[in-house]
Structure formats: C-alpha cells, structure tokens
Amino acid sequence: MAETAYWEAIRRAHDEEMARDPMVIAMGEDIGVAGGTYKATSGLFDKYGESRIIDCPISENSYTGIGIGASMTGMRPVIEIMSINFALLALDTIVNAAAKIRYMSGGQIACPIVMRTPGGTAHQLAAQHSARLARMFMSTSGLRVVTPRGPLDAYGMLKSAIRSNDPVVIIEHEQMYNLKEDIPDEEFFRPLEGAEVIREGSDITLIGYNYSVHLCLEAAKRLEADGISAEVVDLRSLKPIDRETIRKSVEKTHKVVVAEEDEAPVGVGSEIITGIMEDCFFALDSQPVRVHAADVPVPYNAKLEKAAIPNADDVYQGALKVMGKI
Amino acid sequence: MKDADKKRLLREMIFFRRFEDRTFEAYMERKIGGFLHLYSGQEAVATGVLEMANVGQGDKNDYVITGYRDHVHAIKTGAPAREVMAELYGKENGSSKGRGGSMHIFDASQNFMGGYALVGQPFPLAAGLAMGCKHKGTDQIAICFLGDGANNQGTFHETMNMASIWNLPVLFVCENNGYAIGTHIDRSTAQLDQYKRVDTAYNMKSSQHEGMDIESVIPAAKAAIDYVRKEQKPYFIEFMTYRFRGHSMSDAKGYRTKEEEAEWEKRDPIKIYSKTLIDAKIITAKDIKTMEKEIDNEIENDIIKFAEDGPEPRVEDLNKYVLDDNPDPRWIGPLQK
C-alpha cells in the first residue's frame, strides 16, 4: 500500500496500460510537453513519445472525434478534456458519434474511448469553468459515465475503462486531484458498474457521487455526534445506475438524502429519487430531500459562489430535515 | 486500363443509378421510410476515386467514411448491394441489421465505417481512422467523402489543421455539387473554390477537377491516393459535380432552375462515359441496353427480393448493441461486495 494522490493514481493507470498495450494512447491539451494541467500524464511524454501522448490544438470536438475514429480501428484513446465545460464543444462527437456508432452499425463497430474530464467548482473560477454537467452525460444512451470519488477508483476505474469496449466518460473533480488515499502497490481493477456502501448506518441513507460523497461522509460524522447513524452510498456509476444497492440501503434506513453538486432540475437527485419511488416507495418513512446547487450560473464572487454550491452542512441540514429534527 | 475494366466501370455507374432509382420507387411505395438521399449524378466521383483505392478486399481495404448520401460509397467499397437495400427496408439482414437505415450504412468487414447524418462529423472520424492506420504501420489510408456544404462546419477547419500537423494518411474528397441542402454555394461560402480553403490555411496539398467525367476523376484520384499512401500526408481533392435529384425525398428543388438542371444533365456521367466507350468502339449502344436489362433483372430478382424476404428485427432485441453485449465482468462488474 502506498499513499497516492488522485492525479498520481490516474498517471499510474495511464502508465501501466500504455506499457501493456501499444494501442493505448492519450490525447488532450497540454498533456505532453507541458506535463498536463492536472499532471495526470506527467513524465509520460518522455517515456512514450509524441505519437502516444498527443498534444492537441484547442479543438475539443475534432480531437475527440479523431480519438473516436482511431478507436474504430482498434486503438484505445484516453482523451483528456481540460474542463467539463469544454466537453460541451465535443458533445457532437461524443453523443452523436461515439455513443451511437455501435447501435447504428448493428453491433459491428465499437468505440472504446475514454473521456476524462473534471466537473465541479473550485475556487472562484466563475460560470464557464465551474459547470458539473454530470446530468447531461448520464442522460445519453450508449455511454458509460463514472465518477471516481478517490484515488482507488480513479486508478481502478480508469484501467477498467481503457479495457472496456464501450465509450466511457470519467467525471473527475477540480478539487480532488490532490486527494490522497492508500492504494495497493500491485495491479488491481475497479469495475465500472456498481454503487458502493462506503459507510454502514441504520437511520438514514446519504447518497452521493464524485465530490459530494465527501460531503456525505462529513455530514455522517456530524450526524453520529447527534446519535444518528447514517449510511453513505457512493453511486460510482451514473450510467448505468445501480438501483439494487440503493433499494437495499433505503429498505434498511427508510430515509434518504441525495447530494449533488449539479443543479437540481433533471438531475442525479431526481433520477435517484424517482428510482426509489418505483423500487421501494413503501419503504420510505419520510419525504426524501435533494441537496443541490442553486439554479444559477456559478458566480465569481466568493461569497455568492459559496451560497450557490452545496457543502457538508447542507447535507447535514438535509438529513436533519428528513429525520424530522428541524 | 483494360477495356474489360472500362466496361465494368460503366456497368457499375449504371448499376448505381438504377439502384438509386429503384430505392426511389420503394420509397414511394413506403417500403423505405425516414430520409433518403440519392447519389444520382455524382456517380463518377465515388466510382472513380474508389476504383483507385483498395476496396473489395475485406480487412485489407482502405477505410472509407462519408455522410448520409452513402449507398453508392458503401457498395463500391465492398458492401453487398442486397444488404444495403435490405438496410433501407429496415430488415435484420441489412448492413446494419435494420438499426441504421439509409443514412447509416456500415460494413465493418469491408472497412466501410459508415454514413453519418451530422454534416461534417466524418472529418475528424476519418482523421482518426487514418491515425489508426499510421499507428499500426499498415499501408492503408482513410478516404472521407463529403459535400461542399460540410466545409462550413468547425470540424472541417479543426480536422484539416490536425490532419496536417500530424501527417495523417487521409484523403478528403470534396464532392462539390454546388448546394448545401437547398442553399447555393455562392450564398453560403466565401471562397467558392473549396480546394483553396486548405492549401495555405492548413498547409495541405489540394486540387480541383471535373467530376462528371470518370476519365477525369480516375487519374486525379490515383495521384492523390498515391501521394497520401506514399508520403503519409493528407490530401484534399475537389470534384465539381451535380446531384440530379433533390437533397432528400422531401425536396421540391425550388432553389434551382430547370435551365440549370438541363445544363448539368447534358453532362450526365453515364452519358459521357457511354459516349467515350462507344466512340472508342469498346462497347456498342446495344451492349449498353443489354447491360441495363441485366442490371434491372439483378436488382429486381436478387436485391429487392433479398430485402423483401428479409426478416424484421425482433422487438426482443431492441436493447442489443447499445453497449458491449458480452462485457468482461472484471472491467464492468458487478462490484464485489
């Protein structure tokens, strides 16, 4: 076991997969000579050369499309998009091409690409660098969407994503790249599907993904001090969603909060709670609560930004509301 | 080129015209649904270019990709015509098992990587196919057919730049038929000569050629393909052509005059090549009539029959092909608790 930062975990997964399979390449802006905005490919340019660590011009839609075209010949491109906001420029090639080519071709052609991109707010990056957009990708048939909460999944899910035959969008987070965790020294994989109970509890279920998992864990600690036992579920995959794990947890605790950093409309919370209504409505003892961002473009001003984005206290307050304590 | 090959090329172009005419009839009979974009008038371009490429040899083929006017490109690359027709009929024995339809013909076994409905989307995909060829060190290239209308998409500019800086072996074939759907090129495009949009802008070799006469297309295509394959660099080739039918079936062609259409019809690629071969005493008018009859026979008794007799996809299979239907549990899960 070694303490590893999130970015180091991603870098290690790239390195191992590129060493194993010459068909694996990485593409993105500033990922080579410049070492990568998040250092996720640092040092790999020198090791694998410019034909495998490909510095791209600022042309998100078409370099993603080039990666998709390469994947149709059997290559395994890992595409870094510097911010999920910029991934909107690549929606045509991801949503209209990568997600549909297998189906449109009657199963003849796979597009095994990985798109890695950080969603989420950092510190005063303002509206055009702070979008989350998980809800946009999770609504697309033909994609897998995963949200590693820490180095263990960042490493293990990237390795799985590279090897899977489906297009996979990995949503990382601006504030998680330096998050550290002990991960095994020997090679391992973490599957792309399946939610995970990461804290057992009996009174309430807190559901998160990506960064909001950490808000749930922090809220769970505060709830414990109040004598409330909270279970925390990390969704891990937003497409597909593991409804079975959610159902089991809700049937145990009978109460639920969903925490998302996205805005609420047509979002992760609405999807999860709808699933709960369909799967185990009668298990609920009280109304579910969604903790989410304000329905505004993210403001620059620090005070306004803080007000717009949910924090651990919001999750805690949401849980108290579900528990009937406030 | 041998006389037998010349006769075969004429036969292919007549076949493509008759094939498209027959799809028109099937569409009017409501046997074919959705959108249908016919290639009639432009036959010399796909036939001539792909004659010079590696096609019909399965996985040794060059990669070919295009837009939604894709039936002829697919067949010339090697997709069986009967499977293309069955696809238009939405049948399980169609090229894409009835999931794609007219605009999305695929034949992976022949490296025909599809028809796409998003104008300009194949540009980057083609460059990616070329990247795959280069990376694997095969001598294959990628060939991308699109119309002049596609050149006003951002993907055109982004891809020309990257294909050039990365020296990707891709041939961009611009079939300039003068119209972006129903808007004439002089109302949509600042530079009318498409080949001029890449030479200095993206440092890419390019040229413009007559596209109605296959004898003009073939040598130009050969030079361009040889260049791409040997130099491992992109090339942009423009052919001046015309589509005889509307953009799609719902097009009343109100944006162009009967006089203009009549002028272009004089330059029908099949008429031009028929005359060339008759004048050279390679074929007679009577031979051509016989050829047409044989083609109509083949279309009716083999191709249409295959499509008519093919089974519909099963509704139980609706959710197949969305993702890998046999995923490896080590990568996909479920998560071991």
Going by the DSSP 8-state scheme, the letter that residue B272 receives in this structure is H
B137 touches chain A (CB under 8 A): no
Interface contact B321-A107, CB threshold 8 A: yes
> B336: pLDDT confidence band, cut at 50, 70 and 90?
confident
3-state DSSP assignment of residue A75 = coil
Distances (CA, A) of A116 to A181, B163, B212, B330: 20, 23, 46, 20
What per-residue confidence (pLDDT) applies to B251? 85
Interface test with A, best of B332, B336, B337 (most A CBs within 10 A): B332
Mean pLDDT over each residue of chain B, to the nearest integer: 97
**Alpha-carbon span A110 to B156, nearest angstrom:** 24
B333 Cβ contact partners less than 8 Å away, ≥ 6 residues apart: A191, A192, A193, A194
Q: What is the set of domains in chain B, with CATH numbers?
A: 3-264+293-311 (3.40.50.970)
Nearest to A195 by CA among A244, A250, A134: A244
Share of chain A above pLDDT 90, in %: 98
**Alpha-carbon span A110 to A103, nearest angstrom:** 9
| Tokens 């949910």 belong to residue | A310
What per-residue confidence (pLDDT) applies to B250? 80
Q: Which of A25, A63, A189 sits opposite B162 (nearest CB)?
A: A63
Element housing A102 (H / E):
helix A99-104
What per-residue confidence (pLDDT) applies to B253? 86
Q: What is the set of domains in chain A, with CATH numbers?
A: 2-183 (3.40.50.970), 196-322 (3.40.50.920)
Nearest to B57 by CA among B73, B78, B39: B78
Interface test with A, best of B102, B110, B172, B321 (most A CBs within 10 A): B321
Average pLDDT over residues A83-105: 97
Average pLDDT over residues A281-304: 97
Residue type, B334: P
- Is the confidence at residue A182, as pLDDT, over 70? yes
**Alpha-carbon span B223 to A235, nearest angstrom:** 56
What per-residue confidence (pLDDT) applies to B337? 67
**Alpha-carbon span B216 to B237, nearest angstrom:** 12
Contact (CB, 8 A) for B121 and A98:
no
B125 touches chain A (CB under 8 A): yes
**Alpha-carbon span B297 to B291, nearest angstrom:** 10
What per-residue confidence (pLDDT) applies to B249? 85
Interface contact A106-B106, CB threshold 8 A: yes
Mean pLDDT over each residue of chain A, to the nearest integer: 97
Categorise residue B178: left if φ over 0, alpha if ψ from -120 to 50, beta otherwise.
Answer: left
SS3 sequence, B219-270? HHHHHHHHHHHHHCCCEEEEEECCCCCCCCCCCCCCCCCHHHHHHHHCCCHH
Interface contact B334-A190, CB threshold 8 A: no
**Alpha-carbon span B259 to B290, nearest angstrom:** 32
- Is the confidence at residue A239, as pLDDT, over 90? yes
Q: Find the closest chain B residue to A98 by CA distance.
A: B125
Residue type, B246: G
**Alpha-carbon span A43 to A46, nearest angstrom:** 6
Q: Find the closest chain B residue to A66 by CA distance.
A: B128
Half-sphere exposure of B226 (CA within 13 A, CB side): 6
Q: Find the closest chain B residue to A157 by CA distance.
A: B331
Backbone angles phi, psi at A238, to 5 degrees: -95, -15
Please, which residues bridge with residue B179 across strands?
B184
Please write the tens of the pLDDT for every residue from A96-110: 999 999 999 999 999
Distances (CA, A) of B104 to A98, A105, B88: 14, 7, 10
- Residues of A (29-68) whose Cβ lies below 8 Å from B: 51, 54, 56-57, 59, 61-68
CB burial of B96-131 (b: ≥16 within 10 Å; e: otherwise) equals bbbbbbbbbbbbbebbbbbbbbbbbbbbbbbbbbbb
Rounded to the nearest 10 degrees, how much is the dihedral formed by the CA atoms of A57, A59, A61, A67? -10
Interface contact A66-B136, CB threshold 8 A: no
- Our CA-based measurement puts residue B337 at a distance from the nearest CA of chain A, in whole angstroms, of 8
Average pLDDT over residues B178-184: 94
- Residues of B (78-117) whose Cβ lies below 8 Å from A: 94-100, 104, 106-109, 113-114, 116
Please write the tens of the pLDDT for every residue from B47-86: 999 999 999 999 999 999 999 999 999 999 999 999 999 9
Element housing B154 (H / E):
helix B154-165
- Is the confidence at residue B334, as pLDDT, over 90? no
> A65: pLDDT confidence band, cut at 50, 70 and 90?
very high
Interface contact B323-A102, CB threshold 8 A: yes
Contact (CB, 8 A) for A206 and A232:
yes
SS3 sequence, B171-231? EEEEEECCEECCEEHHHHCCCCCHHHHCHHHHCCEEEEEECCCHHHHHHHHHHHHHHHHHH
B335 touches chain A (CB under 8 A): yes
Contact (CB, 8 A) for A15 and A197:
no
Report the catalytic residues of A.
60, 129
Interface contact A108-B96, CB threshold 8 A: yes
Backbone angles phi, psi at A11, to 5 degrees: -60, -45
Record the tokens describing residue A49, joined without a space.
């050369």
- Residues of A (184-223) whose Cβ lies below 8 Å from B: 189-197
Contacts of A58 in chain B (CB under 8 A): none
Q: Which of B121, B162, B320 sits opposite A107 (nearest CB)?
A: B320
B121 touches chain A (CB under 8 A): yes
A322 Cβ contact partners less than 8 Å away, ≥ 6 residues apart: A204, A255, A256, A257, A286, A287, A288, A289
Cis ω before B327 (30° cut-off from 0): no
Q: Is the dihedral of CA B113, B226, B179, A59 positive or negative?
A: positive
Q: How many cross-chain Cβ pairs, A to B, lie less than 8 Å apart?
A: 188
Interface test with A, best of B125, B136, B161, B162 (most A CBs within 10 A): B125
Cis ω before A240 (30° cut-off from 0): yes
Share of chain A above pLDDT 70, in %: 100
Q: Which of B108, B132, B331 sits opposite A109 (nearest CB)?
A: B108
CB burial of A99-111 (b: ≥16 within 10 Å; e: otherwise) equals bbbbbbbbbbbbb
Distances (CA, A) of A285 to A257, A280, B11, B76: 12, 11, 75, 65
Task: Give the helix, strand, coil percentages of chain A, each rounded to 5.
Answer: 40, 20, 40
Strands (E), chain A: 2-5, 24-28, 53-55, 76-80, 114-119, 144-146, 168-173, 180-183, 196-199, 204-208, 230-234, 237-239, 256-263, 289-293
B286 Cβ contact partners less than 8 Å away, ≥ 6 residues apart: none
Going by the DSSP 8-state scheme, the letter that residue A74 receives in this structure is T
What per-residue confidence (pLDDT) applies to B87? 98
DSSP string, A188-230: ----SS--EEEE--SSEEEEE-TTHHHHHHHHHHHHHHTT--E
Going by the DSSP 8-state scheme, the letter that residue A283 receives in this structure is G
3-state DSSP assignment of residue A70 = helix
Please write the tens of the pLDDT for every residue from B109-158: 999 999 999 999 999 999 999 999 999 999 999 999 999 999 999 999 99
- Our CA-based measurement puts residue A255 at a distance from the nearest CA of chain B, in whole angstroms, of 22
